[in-house]
Amino acid sequence: MNFRSTAREEVRIELTPLIDIIFQLVLFFMVSTTFDEDPAIDIALPESSSEQVVSKDVSTEIWIDKKGVILVDQLSVSSAELESMVQQKLKINQELLIIVNADQNVEHQKVVSLIDELQQIGVKNISIGTENTP
């Protein structure tokens, strides 16, 4: 018997076109994606017709954004962190003025709770920040 040995050609899947397509898709999604830039503190302060400017060295500003997050120096802080920060500043200046800047849409209870917490820590001078309107 005469058996012929047939050499089989090895079947291979070419990955080069697949890689090209994936690269094109990644590039398309990178270019077409829009990024939402949120400012560090997006707070709309209540308006007031009177204005009183306070020096930064005798005051500290605490911000409450519209979601109710408390921020000091553009950093979100917990209640315990806020207490330790304020106590450190009170050791330096007993007459420290805390200015609470709350978004006009934040719940009133959040502002009252923050003021109560500051009074329990020992802050004597607390002010509510507003935006001046002519």
Tell me the pLDDT tens digit for each residue of 94-127: 888 999 988 888 888 898 999 999 999 898 888 8
Length of the chain as a residue count: 134
Q: Report the topology of domain 47-132.
A: Nucleotidyltransferase; domain 5 (3.30.420)
DSSP H helical ranges for the chain: 16-32, 79-92, 108-121
d(CA 60, CA 77): 14
Provide the sign of the torsion angle of the four alpha carbons 69, 115, 73, 47, taken in this order: positive
Among 11-15, 52-56, 60-64, whose mean pLDDT is lowest? 52-56
Domain boundaries in the chain?
A: 47-132
The model carries a pTM of 0.57
Q: What is the pLDDT at residue 116?
A: 92
pLDDT bin (cut points 50, 70, 90) of residue 39 is low
pLDDT band at 55 (very low <50, low <70, confident <90, very high): low
